[in-house]
Every structure is written in C-alpha cells, then in structure tokens.
Amino acid sequence: MTRRKKERRLGKFMPVLDQKPKKQERLADPTSKESRRKKAQQQEKKKESVYAKAQATKTRAARDEEAGRRGTRHGGRLAEKIRRLNEQREESEES
C-alpha cells in the first residue's frame, strides 16, 4: 500500500489550489479584500494643508496680487514675450 500526502480539500472532493492567486489577479476581482481595500484608500478623503485652506478663503484678486501677477490670471515673463512677438508679427504684416 502506498502512502499519499494529505491534501487540503473543500468539502470532500475538490482539493484547494496549491498556488495562491497572484496579487494582480486578486486586484482584478472586484469582490476580493485587496481590491476593496485599494478602492477605499483611493476614496478616502485627504486632509487639506493649512496653506491650501488659506488659499481657498482668499479672493482671486488677492491670490493674483500675492503671486505678483499684477491682477491678471495669466501673466508672467513667457506670456509677455509671446504678446510682444505677436505684436511684432502683426506690425510686420501690416507694413
């Protein structure tokens, strides 16, 4: 008589898989613990920083002045350069 190694079985007939499913497979299954946990982590509300809270209470003009934008939302050296080049191009086209 030969000896057989014991197997874990579900019920009487079906042996349990020897290899566990890979993490990607577990995450692909929407009912698995890992996928539910990952989804909950993504949906968890992040706390705002003190700086972000202060920025939210300021008016748009105050934020623009603080950033040195001279009251415009879209400003800066590159924007000024582009406007200057566009003006030069328009002048050259007119003459």
DSSP 15: E
Which amino acid belongs to residue 40? A
Residue 32 neighbours by CB distance under 10 Å: 15
Which amino acid belongs to residue 64? D
Task: Provide the mean pLDDT of the chain.
Answer: 81
Q: What is the mean predicted confidence (pLDDT) over 19-30?
A: 83
The reported pTM is: 0.32
Percentage of the chain beyond pLDDT 70 is 80
Residue predicted with more confidence, 79 or 69: 79
Measured distance CA(39)–CA(92) in Å, rounded: 58
Check residue 11 and give its pLDDT.
65
Distant-in-sequence, close-in-space partners of 35: CB < 8 Å, separation ≥ 6: 26, 27, 28, 29
Check residue 86 and give its pLDDT.
94
Check residue 60 and give its pLDDT.
78
| 35, 29 Cβ separation under 8 angstroms | yes
Domain boundaries, the chain: 50-94
